[in-house]
Structure 1
Amino acid sequence: MKQILIPTDFSLNAWQAICYAQELFKDQECVFHLLNTYTPAIVSSRFMAQHREEELHQQGSGNYSEAGLKELVERIQRNGPNPKHYFETYSSFSLLTDEVNNFVEHENIDLIIMGTKGMTDGDHIYMGKNTVRLIKTIKNCPILAVPRNIDFSVPNEISFSTDFNMFYTHSELEPLIEMALTFNATIRIVHIQDGLKPLDEIQRFNLGMLRKYLAQIEHYVHTISEVKSFSDTLLAFNRELDIHLLAMLNYRNSRVDELTQEPVINRDSFEVQVPIMIIPEISIIYRNKKRKSQVA
């Protein structure tokens, strides 16, 4: 049974991410772990000991969190229950990144799904601070970030952005391969260059291995010249080919860094209209750990 973690702050975008997740996996048995975290607002006071003030705030926030999760499950059930879907709720007094890391570690989470923006993020940005933090922090589980106000489309056209400079293992590409096989999708491997030039020996080898991994999936390689910026070029490619999901591998100095930098995040003109699946570079230690858990 698939284990899906959905962090929520009860915002509209968070609700839309839940709806997307339900539709995406409507034919699969899943446990959806709905997580809300809260932290204290530390305010100085002349009349109350600081620890007591924090305790009262924690109690109030905890009540709000638990009530919000209860209402969320009730809303899901009112929308039409799916007998294949099960929901667990978790309210936690902790930092979101810490709690998500703990969940992934102990609950064998397969995928994290969340909105691209939260309740406190402005309309002028396309990706909020919590989403960016998780993308930069979570190293052992893929994240699917769902933009606000998108209509669900079966992801049968997937773009995978790469520069072929990194050697990917089959384990790292498993989330992408599984998604493509589940929905009988075509994968568009898109290589954006600053001026078109031939691949070097390492790039050719990595492309060859990538095509080997994707042998059972219909896939095409698109090499295009960067126009204005990487983010603008990728967005234009996705629009032109009617892409339903964008996948990227997150490793050191990868193109994911460019999409999560403040100048891009804060641009009014940049608005990703498809979900983005960020796949972390999985370490050998994690792969061995995952293999042991599957054997157990």
Structure 2
Amino acid sequence: MLQVLVPTDFSNNSYNALYYAARLFKDRPATFHIVNVCSSGNDPQKEKAESAAIQELDALVHRLVRDAGENERHMFKKVPLCCDLTTGIAAYALKEKVDVTVIGNKEKEEIKHILFGNNAMQLVRDIKSCPVLVVPLEIDFKKVEKLAFTSNYANPISQKNIDTITFFGGLMDSEIIPMSIEEKEGDALVKKHRSDFLEAVSADASKEVKLPVFDGKVNTILEFIELWGIDMLCMVYHPHHFFLEFIGKGIIKELNTKLKVPFLILPDNPN
């Protein structure tokens, strides 16, 4: 059974992520771990906070069933946590062997909510055991016809990440589109990583798309997404790699603020 973690602060952002996940995985048996960090671990009022969080979690699940419909394949585990926000959620994901964490993106008027913005990127950094799917605020759910994956192949793409890409592609029979940005000729190792990945996904993917940089790499990716009608973008997060300006926190953080499609961020070395 698929284990899906959805942190919530009861904002529109987090509800939208939960609703999207319920629709995305509607045909898969899944347990949804709906987690609210209601207080810190040393809060003297934590029992009161937990009780209030449980009531709100009950109401949240009731709203989801009303909006998305009853689904016999889905189970819900409502979890109030008293801990540090990002490290507590990351520890929970590891302990419960979560397959994917789904979070919502924010808009400026919702900066009062704690889960998003810088904390969203901190979750991406702290959750090393599973991919993180970032869902833009209030997008309409639609079938993922095209899933784009982009990398500079400075590191090999792990088999577990390849399996994740093909799993998400298989959810809705999506076309997987490898996309690369033309740069200087790569070394032999980069070529091997790229060749190995393309061979591994060849049965499920289209021919690779190579794009020239015309206005910075982020804008190149955004233009590609719009022109090609991409429904989900996927990248690997390399937190300590030499090529941070392309594939690390810089580009992922910037894309996360500008993307209008779901963003699947894979861990560097998945457990």
TM bin (shorter chain): 0.7 to 0.9
Q: Find the counterpart in structure 2 of residue 32 from structure 1.
A: 32
Corresponding residue of 1:170: 159
Considering only aligned residues, what root-mean-square deviation do their CA atoms show, in Å?
2.4
Determine the C-alpha separation between the residues in 2 that align with 1:169 and 1:105: 19
Greater CA radius of gyration, 1 or 2? Answer: 1
Alignment map for 1:226-245 (pairs within 5 Å): 226-245=213-232
Task: Give the direction of change, closer, same or farther, for the CA distance of 1:111–1:222 in structure 2 (3 Å limit).
Answer: same
Q: Structure 1 265/176 Cα, relative in aligned 2: closer, same or farther at 3 Å?
A: closer
Question: What SS does the aligned partner of 1:204 have?
Answer: helix
Displacement of 1:265: 7.4
Number of the residue aligned with 1:47? none
CA gap of 1:68–1:120, structure 2 versus 1, over 3 A, is farther
Shift of 1:78: 2.3
C-alpha displacement of 1:238: 0.5
- Residue deviations 1:195-222 (CA, integer Å, cap 9, x gap): x443432222112101121022132212
Confirm or deny that 1:69 pairs with 2:57.
yes
Q: Is 1:160–1:246's contact at 8 Å kept on the other side of the alignment? A: yes
Residue by residue over 1:169-212, the C-alpha shift from the partner in whole angstroms, topping out at 9 and shown as x without a partner, is 2123221111113322222212124xx44343222211210112
Equivalent AA in structure 1 for residue 27 of structure 2:
D
Measure the CA separation in 1 of the matches of 2:111 and 2:86: 21
**Residues 73 and 30 of structure 1: CA distance in aligned 2, closer, same or farther (over 3 Å):** same
Contact 1:117 1:131 in 2 (8 A): no
Q: TM-score, normalised by structure 2?
A: 0.88
1:14 is matched with which residue?
14
Task: Give the conservation status (yes or no) of the 8 Å contact 1:8–1:34.
Answer: yes
* Alpha-carbon distance in structure 2 between the residues aligned to 1:159 and 1:201: 24
Percent identity, please.
24
Equivalent position of 1:258 in the other structure? 250
CA deviation map 1:119-168 (0-9, x unaligned): 98539xxx612211111111111000100021112222011111122112
Q: In the alignment, is the contact (CA less than 8 A) between 1:159 and 1:246 conserved in 2?
A: yes
Native 8 Å contact 2:218 2:255 kept in 1? no
- Give the 5 Å matches for 1:139-158: 139-158=128-147
Match of 1:134, SS state, is helix
**Which residue is equivalent to 2:191?**
204
With over 3 angstroms needed to count, the CA separation of the structure-2 counterparts of 1:118 and 1:33, relative to structure 1, is: farther
220, 232, 235: which one aligns with 2:207: 220
Q: Following TM superposition, by how much is the alpha carbon of 1:14 offset from its aligned partner in structure 2, in angstroms?
A: 0.7
TM-score normalised by L of structure 1: 0.81
Equivalent residue number for residue 88 of structure 1 = 77
Q: Note if contact 1:147-1:272 (Cα within 8 Å) is conserved in structure 2.
A: yes
Aligned equivalent of 1:248: 235
State the AA in 2 paired with 1:141. Answer: C
> 2: distance between equivalents of 1:234 and 1:199?
19
Give yes or no for the alignment of 1:274 onto 2:269.
no
Cα distance change of structure 1 residues 128 and 181 upon mapping to structure 2, 3 Å threshold = same
Deviation at 1:116, TM superposition (A): 1.7
Match of 1:129, as an amino acid?
N
Q: Which residue of 2 aligns with 1:23?
A: 23
Distance 2:233 2:94 in 1: 26
2:66 aligned to 69, 78, 87, which one? 78
The count of residues paired between Structure 1 and Structure 2 equals 262
- 1:59, distance to aligned residue in structure 2 (A): 4.2
